[in-house]
Structure 1
Amino acid sequence: MGTESKRQQRFAGVIQEDLAALFQKDGNSWAPGAFITVTKVRVTPDLAIARIYLSFLNTKTAKDDLKHIQSRTGEIRYKLGMRIKNQARIVPDLEFFLDDTNEYVEHMEKIFEKISKEPRQPD
């Protein structure tokens, strides 16, 4: 995948900002108890598909929460459309993915911590 154009980046920024506001307002009904963060939005060159990466905090069931949000994609797309109707001609199809960067960082920190506790071997 090549680099995104300025147009794609601008449009992704608009979607990210409006989706973040939507998740802040309605997120509790889609994933009760979870704090949802829109970490990244990637838009196809024709602006028809937006791939949204979500991070979930305060929940042990992030994958289930993601599935629940994916099942509500139509409702979320409609609400997004109401927010961006004056800024975009079309509302892109939404695809939601789990952003597991935080989990990866935690995993790597545990590995490094384990390594640092091991006794050093003489050179």
Structure 2
Amino acid sequence: MIKQLKRVELPEDLCWWFHPDFNSIDPMLDNNEERGYTPEEWEQLQVNGNIDISIDTSVDLEEIDSNANGEWKGYTPTPPIPEHFLIASFDTERWDYAVLWWAKERLPVSVQQSLKEVS
């Protein structure tokens, strides 16, 4: 298991892309059910990668894939803040927008504790 999920170079086509190390942090990897994460699994995913994940659903799929052919070649999403890096990008069958998962490295626990003491 990895201790820190890191930024990677993005492929040319981001349609249904996941970070190459995603499976090593995913608590649902061996789960064959088609369902979303429970709150506990979602937190475990973030703990496993030492990241905080933000979900962006503000991108209109028509802007990326106007032909609806499942290719996002040339699409380069902009992170919400410079510290974020992309770990997943996909569309859904029910919605007409892209889903982007942005990650930010968590501060080490010792730094988090120091910040709490200061505030």
TM-score by length of 2: 0.29
Name which structure has the greater RCO, CA cutoff 8 Å, separation 6+.
2
* Higher strand content, 1 or 2: 2
Give the structure with higher Rg (CA).
1
* Higher helix content, 1 or 2: 1
TM-score by length of 1: 0.28
